Structure 1
Amino acid sequence: MATTDDFHELAPLSDLEAAGRTQVSIDGTPLAAFYHEGEVRVVDNRCPHMGFPLSEGTVDEGILTCHWHHARFELSCGDTFDPWADDVRTYPTEIRDGVVYVNPNPARDRPPAEHWTDRLETGLEENLRLVAAKSSIGLLDAGVDYREPMAVTLEFGTRYRDSGWGRGLTILGCLANVMADLDPEDRKRALYTGVRHVADDCASEPPHFDQPSFSTSEVDFDRLKSWFRDCVEVRDADGAERCLRTAVASGYSEAEIADLLVAAATDHPYLSTGHVLDFANTALESLDHVGWATADDTLAALVEPLVTATRSDEQSAWRQPIDLVALLEDVYGGDVTETSGLADLVAEGAEPRDETAWTPPEDFQATLLGDDPEAIVDALAGAIRSGATTEALAGEVAHAAATRVAQFGTANEFSDWDTVHHTFTYANAVHGFARRTDAIECYRGVFDAALNVYLDRFLNTPPAPIPDPGEHESDRDPDAVLETLLETFDREGAVNEAGRLVAEFLDCGGDPAALKRTLGRGLLREDAGFHTLQNVEAAFRQFELAESSVSTGEDTQIEHERRRRVPLIATARYMAAHFPTRREADQTFTIAQRLNRGETIHEG
């Protein structure tokens, strides 16, 4: 085809006038050309919504309508009347000696990153999945760091949801935490998943109107912390928000802000089945990704879940047949909001209080997984007295909670998967806070999680076996084991098989990083729900912490290997219990990916 400069010959003008339209492909770009109201207009022949050929559409009064979903476009500039459809690209034309020429590769008016950021905001505002997918793909393809669109999404989710931090923002934070563990293509899926869940969470919600910080920055931290806890206790959202914003504005450290949050979130045990503390931990982790500049708005979103939380000390399971709350009050030195008893235990403990001060007794895990709550409380109190840090104890309880998931009996009701899941993610959040602050209130989170591990004991009756290291060693190539694991997620109910395959992969010397990439792939191709996304993130975190712990001696190394595999076996079983799904979200993602690549989806 003849070319002049950047312009390529398209068609004789007389032919286009007679036909009214034509379609061509130039330099691999499918084009639809229209002669309308005395003007030549050329657009990308693929509807930006689903790729249907626009050459088969209708042009009337300057509007091009796609017949597939009736998306409408202003023909001269390509802008859409329907935000869910996105704008269609237009191309410059020239008429020379009765021939129409077109430039199929014009310079873009705006940098791709700027364009896709605007589209991301539209996807969030209008709750448009396809736009969210296209913008997530477009931004990462343009080399934008995932933290930038995450920050945009985080700001949107905290501003436009009056009910505060919820599932969508938690999903966004969880997926940011596992981003480095994923294949590059799955990182785009992860961003898209976080964006679409935040958009869905905010749809039809009123915006949040901020309460300002106090006009002074001279309030003592302990007093501000006391005010904040008092406001949360009486469910005063406005007062609590002002206290929290003042703490941030006054320049208190991240560890001190975490101290304030964990205190209020553990003044009653296991608030809202653990979600409140988990939300707070994920909010702080989200700020680790995007920076502390938006801490005031991000953390203010936690106030509403805090003041509206259900309190487990008001529920019968924590009162009958054994009064678990009374056990805690004996340790805490008063009601469940006290810490004086814990302070006495700490004062008795070994010095210095660090990771070397305490080693768990051989029967410690057995006690945590046992059926005697008094023994559990005594074991934890004794550990504190012996110098155990909040981080060390939180790690032990998180491992016990992961074991509950790994040993969940499939004869139980399906909904009880979430019972053991909630305990696991709560324990993981306690562990997160304990690594962030040495606040004594973290011990309360440890006790709360441990007693919930106790309450979940019947869900391990009988316990599913956890394969020992070497039990499933085989000659199979580790990659083949991973392929089989993904195939297992295609079948309903292959719970025990999924756990066994994780053990076999590790026994065959497989690289844990490859296993996490495969689990991430299996997760993100599904319409995974909130809890499944949480579960995988918590399992990856607990695996990493176990992986990095020091082990010496053959017996200790075997126990270390046994311990580190539990979270990954647990999450593989949880995933298998909830898969397969219809995979609607991934279908949308695939369409968006093909549209962004310029592929023809529908043949015209």
Structure 2
Amino acid sequence: MSSTDRFREVVSLSDLRREGRLQRTVDGRALALFHHEDEIRVVDNRCPHMGFPLSKGSVEDGVLTCHWHHARFELSCGDTFDPWADDVQTFPVEVRDGTVFVDPHPDPDDPPAVHWASRLEDGLEQNLRLVVAKSAVGLVDADVPAEAILERGVLFGSRYRESGWGPGLTILAAMANVLSDLGADDRKRALYQGLVHVAGDCADEPPRFDQDPFDTDDVSLDRLETWFRENVEVRDADGAERVLRTAIANGADDAQVATMLAAAATDHRYLNTGHTLDFINKACEALDHVGWDHADAVLPSLVRDLATADRAEERSSWRQPIDLAAMLDATFSDLDSLVAEGSELHWSVPEDFTQTLLAEDPEVVVSALEDAVRAGATVEELAREVAFAAATRVAQFATVNEFSDWNTVHHTFTYANAVHQLARRTESRELYRGVFDAAINVYLDRFLNTPPAPIPDAAPDADADPQSHLDALVESFDVEGSVDEAGRRAAHYLDCGGDVARLRERLGEALLREDAGFHTYQALEAGFTQASLREDPDEVRTLLVAVARYLGAHFPTRREREQTFTIASRLHRGEKIHEAAE
């Protein structure tokens, strides 16, 4: 087909001159035609910002202004003055014998994937929530793999936040981990929520400037690890970053780098209420999604937090009335011999081990862990059990406590989950220290289970329709304070034979429609991760009860971000959001 054959007759030139502007639909495309300064210009009639008809706008000095939100466009090429609005598409025009012809289907300047990738960068750079939402929807619908979308967010967040890895990147990594649990539309929401938080974290922050690796490949990895820990110990972030970059440049693999980071993060107790180790784990998991070839761009973003972290042994709760830090120091000084004793043994989880970990005497807890190491328990095996004990604290959190105390049990659980996940990546002996740290925090959290909220009893009618419990669970999230109801409905759904995958999908759906905070995303992802690694249905039940209760405590919210996502989705489908629904 020739270019001429693609043009369609639209309107007489005299009519357009007389009216100044007209709106016409050609081959299904709504067009706005303007006669301005003796030129004919044709643009898509839908304002690219929120879809208002541009034919109802105004034109002056070659500038088209939409009257809804005052987005402005250079009329001849469609480029916007306002980055939040996007450029409007223009269309080729010919005048033949007094009639205006338009090509309604011109070849695009860029394929949709390229366009939306560029717009995502704009949205991240300028913290434009609607632009990020449109980009997430557009990229997914253009069949761009989730990993490629995540890559843009991870690299942006790692570069453009001077203080380094933070909550936004953690949320993005957590949402990447649960994408497979979600329905198709909620995968878009998960990417959008993560990317929006990355943009918010980076807003008004200067970028990070890199330290260079040492110009040598003659230093052993063991020595680099020693140097790294020494620099973190004296809070020298710049020196620690150079060492870490050298290890990466010299070919250290993911397990070796994770070992280096985990060792430094457990040289002191429970850094930054657990966030530091959780950030390390989430950065590693993010690289699992986007590729470890980006390690040199991502992992150095962790170093400043690691070097400047608050150390729990500096807090009174770890020193008074019992010197818990000193108790662990004694254990750690003997750790090598404990591991040596169990080197040829295979540990089995003792009966009631969870209850032992929930004991009110820290010496009982520490002794039980020491005995487990002597009996051959690996870091991964012990971390798994401590993570479940920490989740039990969440599942039994007493609502008589202050609302902020949810954060305390939450921090212990997500820290324990991070230790467990890192132990599955590396056999670092130093991670035993993380296990003990997590267990001590489980002990410190004991008063938040006073009195303990009971794990819900079995459903009274196991033959009931599980869907009724699932629907009631989702409805409970619309009622403030429905903590126990949420936990009970989740438990009874499972008791009645409900599908675990369906429960996870609905919990994820509920989360993604709220203006959830950082900890709520963490809570859901850690609970899902732990549940996915267990075969015992009672353990899965407790973990998902913990997730449901935590969500129930933090919902409902204003749901502003969901409104933005809904607008973006409707615009992408071509709906007229400025008109009342029929």
Pairwise TM-score range, normalised by the shorter structure: over 0.9
* Aligned pairs (5 A) from 1:278-317: 278-317=278-317
- Displacement of 1:478: 2.8
Q: Which amino acid is the alignment partner of residue 581 of structure 1?
A: T
**1:230-270, CA deviations, whole angstroms, 9 ceiling, x for partnerless residues?**
10011001100001011111112211111101100011111
- Displacement of 1:176: 0.6
**1:187-228, CA deviations, whole angstroms, 9 ceiling, x for partnerless residues?**
111111111111111111111110011111121111111110
- Separation in 1, partners of 2:312, 2:516: 28
* Aligned pairs (5 A) from 1:66-215: 66-215=66-215
Q: Which amino acid is the alignment partner of residue 352 of structure 2?
A: D
TM-score, structure 1 length as denominator? 0.94
Question: Contact between 1:53 and 1:602, CA under 8 Å: does it hold in 2?
Answer: no
Q: Which amino acid is the alignment partner of residue 281 of structure 2?
A: N
Which residue does 1:264 correspond to in 2? Answer: 264
Q: Which amino acid is the alignment partner of residue 366 of structure 1?
A: Q
Q: Which amino acid is the alignment partner of residue 466 of structure 1?
A: I
Which residue does 1:343 correspond to in 2? Answer: 336
- Separation in 2, partners of 1:483, 1:601: 29
Q: 1:58 to 1:246 in 2, by over 3 A?
A: same
Q: Which amino acid is the alignment partner of residue 389 of structure 2?
A: A
Q: Helix, strand or coil for the counterpart of 2:534?
A: helix
- Separation in 1, partners of 2:339, 2:105: 70
Structure 1 residue 578 corresponds to structure 2 residue 567: no
Q: Helix, strand or coil for the counterpart of 1:170?
A: helix
Quick one: percent identity of the two aligned structures?
A: 64
- Displacement of 1:581: 0.8
Which residue does 1:446 correspond to in 2? Answer: 435
* Aligned pairs (5 A) from 1:451-600: 451-468=440-457, 470-547=458-535, 560-600=536-576
- Displacement of 1:153: 1.3
- Separation in 2, partners of 1:472, 1:541: 29
Q: Which amino acid is the alignment partner of residue 415 of structure 2?
A: Y
TM-score, structure 2 length as denominator? 0.97
- Separation in 2, partners of 1:28, 1:406: 55
Which residue does 2:250 correspond to in 1? Answer: 250
Question: Contact between 1:265 and 1:276, CA under 8 Å: does it hold in 2?
Answer: yes
Q: Which amino acid is the alignment partner of residue 369 of structure 1?
A: L
- Separation in 2, partners of 1:135, 1:482: 32
Question: Contact between 2:459 and 2:496, CA under 8 Å: does it hold in 1?
Answer: no
Q: 1:56 to 1:194 in 2, by over 3 A?
A: same
Which residue does 2:351 correspond to in 1? Answer: 362
- Displacement of 1:473: 4.2
Structure 1 residue 435 corresponds to structure 2 residue 424: yes
Question: Contact between 2:130 and 2:568, CA under 8 Å: does it hold in 1?
Answer: yes
- Displacement of 1:6: 3.1
- Separation in 2, partners of 1:138, 1:208: 29
Q: 1:261 to 1:473 in 2, by over 3 A?
A: farther
- Displacement of 1:298: 0.6
Q: Which amino acid is the alignment partner of residue 425 of structure 1?
A: T
Structure 1 residue 228 corresponds to structure 2 residue 228: yes
- Displacement of 1:603: 4.1
Which residue does 1:551 correspond to in 2? Answer: none
Which residue does 1:381 correspond to in 2? Answer: 370
Q: Which amino acid is the alignment partner of residue 555 of structure 2?
A: F
Which residue does 2:394 correspond to in 1? Answer: 405
**1:14-36, CA deviations, whole angstroms, 9 ceiling, x for partnerless residues?**
11111111122334332221111
- Separation in 2, partners of 1:530, 1:185: 21
Structure 1 residue runs of 5 or longer lacking an equivalent are 334-340, 548-559
- Displacement of 1:8: 3.2
- Displacement of 1:107: 2.2
Q: Helix, strand or coil for the counterpart of 1:393?
A: helix
- Separation in 1, partners of 2:559, 2:469: 23
Q: Which amino acid is the alignment partner of residue 497 of structure 1?
A: E
Q: Helix, strand or coil for the counterpart of 1:84?
A: coil
**1:490-539, CA deviations, whole angstroms, 9 ceiling, x for partnerless residues?**
11111111111111111121111111111111011111111001110101
**1:464-500, CA deviations, whole angstroms, 9 ceiling, x for partnerless residues?**
11125x4354444333332222211111111111111
**1:551-580, CA deviations, whole angstroms, 9 ceiling, x for partnerless residues?**
xxxxxxxxx221111111101111111111
* Aligned pairs (5 A) from 1:33-52: 33-52=33-52
Structure 2 residue runs of 5 or longer lacking an equivalent are none
- Separation in 1, partners of 2:116, 2:259: 38
RMSD value over aligned CA atoms?
A: 1.5
Question: Contact between 1:472 and 1:503, CA under 8 Å: does it hold in 2?
Answer: no
Which residue does 1:332 correspond to in 2? Answer: 332
Which residue does 1:391 correspond to in 2? Answer: 380
- Separation in 1, partners of 2:190, 2:431: 31
- Separation in 1, partners of 2:86, 2:267: 48
Which residue does 1:602 correspond to in 2? Answer: 578
Q: Which amino acid is the alignment partner of residue 227 of structure 2?
A: W
- Separation in 1, partners of 2:405, 2:201: 25
Question: Contact between 2:170 and 2:282, CA under 8 Å: does it hold in 1?
Answer: yes
Q: Which amino acid is the alignment partner of residue 203 of structure 1?
A: A
- Displacement of 1:364: 1.2
Q: Helix, strand or coil for the counterpart of 2:84?
A: helix
Q: Which amino acid is the alignment partner of residue 518 of structure 1?
A: R
- Separation in 2, partners of 1:598, 1:273: 47
Which residue does 1:338 correspond to in 2? Answer: none
- Displacement of 1:54: 1.3
